[in-house]
């Protein structure tokens, strides 16, 4: 919805995706919790990945598991605020 708003109003934005990683075994349940919370809040595009899959995407990365958020992006926040004034 925000990307559509930005596109319609010429606000600079870009989907860049994000990896949220678990570098140790104790962090893996936190990824599960994030995935559960995301689904409960209507975010349906997170993907749980094995560490090896994430490391194929980012060779310098070291992790056990990861969540891929393909819809994460960046927005020109100043332009966004100005668009809301109109």
C-alpha 12/C-alpha 25 separation (Å) is 38
What pLDDT score does 86 carry? 78
CA trace torsion 63, 64, 65, 68 (10° rounding) = 20
Q: Give the mean pLDDT of 68-81.
A: 96
Domain that holds residue 50: 2-85
Q: What is the CATH number of the domain that holds 78?
A: 3.30.9.10
Global pTM value = 0.80
What pLDDT score does 1 carry? 83
> What is the domain count for the chain?
1
Tens digit of each residue's pLDDT (9 = 90 or more) over 23-63: 999 999 999 999 999 999 999 999 999 999 999 999 999 99
């Amino acid at each position: 919805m925000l990307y559509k708003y930005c596109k319609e109003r010429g606000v600079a934005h870009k989907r860049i995706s994000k990896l949220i990683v678990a570098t140790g075994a104790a962090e893996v349940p936190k990824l599960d919790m994030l995935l559960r919370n995301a689904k409960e809040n209507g975010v349906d595009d997170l993907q749980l990945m094995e560490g090896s899959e994430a490391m194929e995407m980012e060779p310098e990365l070291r992790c056990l598991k990861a969540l891929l958020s393909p819809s994460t992006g960046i927005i020109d926040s100043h332009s966004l605020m100005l668009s809301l004034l109109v």
